[in-house]
Amino acid sequence: MERISAQQLAESVAEARERWNVPGMAVGVLQDGEAVAVADGVCELGRDELVFPETTFRIASITKQFTATLALTLAQDGLLSLDEPPGSRVEATIRQLLSHQGGLACEWPSALEGLGHGDDGLQRVAEGEPPRLPIGPGELFSYCNVGFWLVGAAAARACETTFQEAVRARVLEPLDLATTRFEPRRAARGHEQDEPGSDGHTAVEHPYPRARTPSGGLWSTVDDLLRFAAHHLGGPGPLSRESVREMQRPHIPAPGGSYGLGWFLRKSAGRRIVEHPGSAAGFESLLLLVPDEGFSFAALTNSSRGSAAIRELLERLELGPAGAPDVALGPEQLEAFAGTYSGDGIEVDVVPEHGRLRVRLSGFDPFSGENVVFPPVLARPVAEREFEIVDDERRGDRLTFPRDGFVCVGVLAARVR
C-alpha cells in the first residue's frame, strides 16, 4: 500500500467529515511501524472545543476485541476454557459467544438499569435467563451483546475481581494503553441525527449501564487503538501468536465475510481484512487491520452517521467492500425472500423491485428507549442468498438469508408473514 502522509490524511478526513456533516472525527493509521494521527471538527456542536488526536471517544463495540483479548489471555493461563459454557444458564461455549453463534438474542429482555449500577450487575446478568433465538448454539451468526456480557462475567470470576479491573490488569496495562478506560477524560460528546438520514444533529448523553461494558463500554483515542492494533499485528503484548491467530481465524459465516473471536473478517481487493465497527449512544467508530501488510486504521466519530464518513475514507484507501459483481436472480428467486421478518428487537420488510430488494428496517434503540425507523434502501444481489445495500448512508452493508425463513441484518430475524 502506498504510504499516506499526515497532510493527505488530514485533507481526506476534513473532506469526509464535512461531506457527511459529522461534528468531530479523529483518524490514525499505522504503516511500516510508524503511526500518523489527525483530527477535525469539534467535540460538541455549539461549543468551540476542537477535536485533537488525543481526544477520547466512546469506541462502542470495538470494546469486544478487548473482551476477547482478555478471555484469550485467561485461556492461555488455564483459567478459562473456550470450549465450555461460561458458567451461566446457557449451553453455548465461550468460543461460540465470542463469535456471535451462541443462539442468543442480542439484548436483555428488560432494562439493565434495573440490575443496578454496581459491579454486581454483570454477575446478576450471568445468573439470569438470557433470551434465546429460534436456533441452537453453533447454527447461525447473529450479533449478540449478551454473549459478551456473559464472557465478561466469567472472566471477572476467573480473575476474582471486577471485569473492569481484569481488563486493566491483563490488557490495558501490559500494552500501556493509558488513555483507554471505562471513565472518559477530555472526551467528545455523542451526537445523534435529528432523524435517520438527516444532516441535523443533537448532542446526547445516554446512560450506559455498567452491565453492558464488556460489549461496548470503553473510551479510547486513535493512538491507543493503533497501539492495541500493533499487538494484534504481531507486536509484543499479553497474547501468544497462537491466540492472535485464533482470534483472526474464521469461526462462522457472517454477512460480507465471516467472524472470528471478536473480529469481523473479509477480503478487499485480495487483501485479508480484520476489523470491527462500533456504534452506540451517538458515537461510531472502526478499527481495521491488514495483517499481511502490517497496516492498521482507526477512526473515531461523535455522530450516529459517522460510519458513512469512515466508509468514504476506506474507499480512498482501497480498503472498502470488495465491490462484488451483481448476480442475476430471477423473479421467483427474489420472491422467495419477500415478507416481513421480526425478532430480536427489529422488524424487516423485504419487497422485490426490478431485480433487487427494497428493504425497510426498524429497530429498538436500547440507549434512547425508542423504536427507530430507517429510510428504505435498495439491495443488489451479490450471491444467491446475499445482498449489498446500494444507497443511503448504509451503502456497502450486507444482508443475508442464511436459511429459508430467516434474514440476517447483523442480527437474525424470522419471517412472520
List where CATH 2.40.128 sits in the chain: 331-415
pTM for the whole structure: 0.96
- Between vectors from CA 330 to CA 326 and to CA 336, what angle results, nearest 5°? 105
Alpha helices, H only, 177-284: 213-216, 222-232, 241-247
Q: How many helices (H) and strands (E) does the chain have?
A: 11, 21
* DSSP reduced 3-state for 292: helix
Q: What is the 3-state secondary structure (H, E, C) of 23-90?
A: CEEEEEEEECCEEEEEEEEECCCCCCCECCCCCEEECHHHHHHHHHHHHHHHHHCCCCCCCCCCCCCC
Facing residues of 343 across strands? Answer: 346
Alpha-carbon distance values, 313 to 53, 61, 317, 372 (Å)? 17, 20, 6, 27
Alpha helices, H only, 259-365: 306-316, 331-335
DSSP state of 355: T
List where CATH 3.40.710.10 sits in the chain: 1-322
Fold of 1-322: Beta-lactamase (3.40.710)
Q: How far apart are CA 218 and CA 412, in angstroms?
A: 26
Q: How far apart are CA 176 and CA 187, in angstroms?
A: 19
CB atoms within 10 A of CB 413: 23
pLDDT by 10s per residue, the chain, length 417: 778 899 999 999 999 999 999 999 999 999 999 999 999 999 999 999 999 999 999 999 999 999 999 999 999 999 999 999 998 789 999 999 999 999 999 998 776 666 666 778 888 888 888 899 999 999 999 999 999 999 999 999 999 999 999 999 999 999 999 999 999 888 999 999 998 888 899 999 888 888 899 999 999 999 999 999 999 999 999 999 999 999 999 999 999 999 999 999 999 888 999 999 999 999 999 999 999 999 999 999 999 999 999 999 999 998 887 678 889 999 999 999 999 999 888 999 999 999 999 999 999 888 888 888 999 999 999 999 999 999 878 889 999 999 999 999 999 999 998
Phi-psi map region of 282: left, alpha, beta (phi>0 left; psi -120 to 50 alpha): left
Q: How far apart are CA 140 and CA 159, in angstroms?
A: 31
Q: How far apart are CA 70 and CA 73, in angstroms?
A: 5
Q: How far apart are CA 323 and CA 311, in angstroms?
A: 13
CATH class of 331-415: mainly beta
